[in-house]
Chain A
Amino acid sequence: MLAYAWVIPAVMVVSFALILFFGKRLPRKGHEIGLAAIAIAFALSTVCAVEWVGRPANHTVEPVAAEPHGEATASESGGHGEEEAGHGAEEAGHGAEEAGHGAEEAGHGAEEAGHGAAAPAAEEGGEHGGEGEHEAEPIREPVVSEGTWYENGPVKINAGIHMDGLAVVMLFVVTLISLAVHVFSTSYMHDDRRYTHFFAALSLFTAGMLIMVTASNTLQLLFGWEMMGLCSFMLIGHWWEEKNNSDAALKAFFTTRTGDIGLLVGISILFFAAGNTFDIAETNRAALAGQISDTVLLAGAAALLCAVIGKSAQFPLHTWLPDAMAGPTPVSALIHAATMVVAGVYLVARLYGVFWSAFDIGGGGINPIALVGGITVIIAALLAFVQSDIKKVLAYSTVSQLGYMVMALGVGAWTAGIFHLFTHAFFKGLLFLGAGSVSHAVHSFDMKKDMGGMRTFMPTTYKTFMVGTLALAGVFPLAGFWSKDEILLGAGENGYELFLVVGLVGAFMTAAYMTRCVYLTFFGEYRGHGHPHESPPAITIPLIVLAVLSAGAGLLNAPGIELFTKWTENEAVLLAGVAHHEFSLMTALIGGLFAGGGIAASYLYYWRNLGPHRLTERSGAAMAGYRLLENKYYLDRLYTDGIVASIKGPIARAAYIVNQRVIDAVVNAVGIGTRRAGRFTYDVLDQKGVDGIVNGVGLTAEEGGSVLRVLQTGRVQQYAAFLFGGVVLLGGALVLFT
């Protein structure tokens, strides 16, 4: 099945076409096709996953950095992918015996070769003696099946699939969440005016995401990426009759588009840098082997980072995601929590070799990716505190968690980032669907006005939402705990202490704002109107399924099991020599402590009414802070007033000034001069001399016109007769006189 995984996106594309053309005529308005297609896709993805797990791990990859003769072997292995595998296996034989003193040597060798990225990683290997062996552990060889799409001279572009652990995980997650959302939507979107189109767009969206995650080259990746952008636009603006919604759709589209320019530029740079190839594996190899000059690589990676910032809603382009909550809730769950927004994270993970070399991720300290992620974690979490719309809380939470993933990749904790993506998809999908279930009952998203005390009305939703909250907050032993712990561990061990602190603060705030959200929604007095009641099974069953996964998925990579690492790590990651770390009880305890602290603080504040209430009314500084948050750091205003207006305003004004001062002055001067000359001309020449001639010409023209207007009949055939007659006369004259 792995070799035929292209069937999975194909199923969704076919489903899109079928729904679009026949959906309206079907008894269930097309959702039966969408459901069947996504069920098939999910089943096939599961088969893929099982096959992948059962695949023998016999592909050995030596980290570029740990090679004794770093530079030479590296460039060779980059050039010949086939040879490199065999070479690696050979090397592994005596790699073990060399491990003792080899690691130290590696440090020197790499340093001598001037391989900047290599040195610290190799030194790490030296510090953790046992890990040298661990890194050489064989992985499953990726399944690649592709055909030539386009060939012209030296340029050959393939189209196909590249199935490795990362792709398989993404396939599984995307189809699962999409399935849950499809089921949920049949009830939630019931009686919607564009029900059929909604399901068609869901299918196309899923297809885009699946195309992207299975892509073997960057061009295909771009294709899927843009498909998602389009579908996101259609789905956010699903209720476009309201101006807000269509505005939000446009904003999302344009903001992500700003980043997408970066993707286009980055892909183009890498195409030429990697030697006329779009192939992702080859690009990674070339980048890690140092075949690409540092400057070019940095430019390419920086451009790609722009795309990540746009798509994954990182600071400072995160503003579109909360607005995107204008779309229907299932869309928010599918697109803006679990799948599409992680496309940026996926891009970094996929082209990890490029980012690793360009930003010197192995080096520790600080780098752009980690920085962007870290800032996003904090600022989005702060914003989540002041929201009263439940979906907006979750939206900012999503932004913050995406920041976590990006930060994880930025600090060299590759597996941790992907693992967090994996677990986050479950609990964030769950939380969004839960929020949808609540709002379905109270017909509002406002926690402060219309919710409260919902736990008595909606027990199932309440219980599942609690599981999601605890998982997101990172409470032992739910999914979020394990993935967050790994990120913190990675940040601490790889020399990114600053981001360890950021991660801990983020964990604290995440726990606190989620507790606030739960309090406002499910506890206290019911503040709304009407009689809410539990949602139908089509809504609760996906919730339960996702709740089970949110609770259990983290165990997959719990210490001692660590299956997730074994399944997902790919060649690029091993080539880069990403370090592995033993589970550290200390980090886990501190992380858990911060999460627990967040919950406790929030609990004391809301339930026990302790702490500085009404702070904003008493303290000017607090008020200013609150205003800043309420206005979302004035970023939106910066974009519209600052950037758009500064382009629009001054140019218009400058044009106006030029118009008034310069052109008018010239015109006036000319005018005055002309008037004087005119007066003279009028008196002397015009009245007496010219008028006579002009009147004569006018009269002649009038006479001639009244004769010729007979010919102007408006009848095409008469014109044609004149045309042919003229041609004949001219042709005849030509023949006669030559």
Chain B
Amino acid sequence: MVAQNLIFGVIAVAMGIAAIRVVTTQNIVHAALYLVVVLAGVAAVYILLAAEFTAVVQILVYVGAILVLFLFGIMLTRAPIGRTSDLDNDQRWLALAVSLLLLGVLAGVLADAFDDTKLPADAAVQRSGEVGTSIFQVYVVPFEVISVLLLAALVGAVVIARRD
């Protein structure tokens, strides 16, 4: 138990710092790299929560695909690679205030609602087989909808981005 908590602490701190760096760094490529740390951290949290399949998908999709997409986006928009001071707009204090307030409210609500609720300690690992069965039996309709959505997004992205 202690080990798990320790690991969680390390991961959480790393994610927190990385997340802050994502939104504050003045180097756009660094932001992408910090995002990798956050996403990998999320995958690690999934493993702590015994959701191994989701963790693997997280790595594959986010780190493997989405991040590469971001790097392409950075490259294609010829964003300044290297340090610049022009990545934030002029309402960052307003943004900081809003997000701190948000964090405060969320933290207050959570602390109030789940004060010392513990996760079941003996929770068995949820197997990928169960996940698959669940997707294709109980949630087959949302699954199909998602596939249509992906197709639409594919077509939409092509239509939006093509030169003509």
Report B-chain residues with C-beta under 8 Å of the C-beta of A717.
89, 91
B95 located at the interface, meaning its Cβ lies under 8 Å from any Cβ of chain A in the complex? yes
Contacts A721-B95, A725-B97, A731-B105 aside, 17 further interface pairs with beta carbons under 8 A come to A717-B89, A718-B91, A718-B94, A724-B98, A724-B99, A724-B102, A725-B94, A725-B98, A725-B101, A728-B101, A728-B102, A728-B105, A729-B101, A731-B109, A732-B105, A735-B109, A735-B112
* Interchain CA distance A316-B22 in the complex, whole Å: 76
Interface of A is mostly: helix
A-B contact pairs, 16 of them (CB 8 A): A717-B89, A717-B91, A721-B94, A721-B95, A724-B99, A725-B94, A725-B97, A727-B102, A728-B101, A728-B105, A729-B101, A731-B109, A732-B101, A735-B105, A735-B109, A735-B112
Instruction: Give Cα A717–Cα B23 distance, bound, in whole angstroms.
Output: 15
Give the size of the chain A interface in residues (CB under 8 angstroms): 11
Q: Across the interface, name the chain B residue whose C-beta is closest to A718.
A: B91
Chain A CB within 8 A of B108 CB: yes
Residues of A within 8 A of B98 (CB): 721, 724-725, 728
The interface residues of chain A lying within 8 Å CB-to-CB of B94 are: 718, 721, 725
- Interface size bracket, B side: 10 to 19
B-to-A contact residues, CB < 8 Å: 89, 91, 94-95, 97-99, 101-102, 104-105, 108-109, 112
Q: Is the interface of B mostly helix, strand, loop or mixed?
A: helix
Q: Cα distance A731–B112 when bound, in Å? A: 14
Q: Min CB distance, A729 to chain B, in Å? A: 8
CB distance from B94 to the nearest CB of A (A): 5
Chain A interface (Cβ < 8 Å from any Cβ of B): 717-718, 721, 724-725, 727-729, 731-732, 735
A710 CB to nearest B CB, Å: 13
Which chain B residue lies CB-closest to A731? B105
Question: A residues within 8 A CB of B99?
Answer: 724
Q: How far is the CA of A735 from the CA of B99 in the complex (A)?
A: 17
Q: How distant is the Cα of A728 from the Cα of B108 in the complex, in angstroms?
A: 12
**How far is the CB of B48 from the nearest CB of chain A, in Å?**
28
Q: How far is the CB of A733 from chain B (nearest CB, A)?
A: 10
Residues on B with beta carbons closer than 8 Å to the beta carbon of A721: 91, 94-95, 98
Which single residue of chain A is at the shortest CB-CB distance from B100?
A728
Interchain CA distance A721-B93 in the complex, whole Å: 11
Cα A308 to Cα B94 in complex, Å, equals 74
Report the separation of the CA atoms of residues A250 and B22 in the bound assembly, to the nearest whole angstrom: 61
Question: What residues of A have a CB within 8 angstroms of the CB of B108 in the complex?
Answer: 735
What's the Cα separation between A717 and B89 when bound, in Å? Answer: 9
Contacts of B89 in A (CB 8 A): 717
Q: A466: shortest Cβ distance to chain B, in Å?
A: 57
List residues of chain B with CB within 8 A of the CB of A729.
101
Give complex CA distance A724, B101 in Å.
10
Closest Cβ–Cβ distance, residue A707 to chain B (whole Å): 18
Which A residues touch B91, using CB under 8 A?
A: 717-718, 721
A728 CA to B98 CA in the complex, in Å?
8
A residues in contact with B101, CB < 8 Å: 725, 728-729, 732
CA distance A718 to B108 in the complex (A): 26
CB distance from B150 to the nearest CB of A (A): 25
Nearest-CB distance from A711 to chain B (Å)? 12
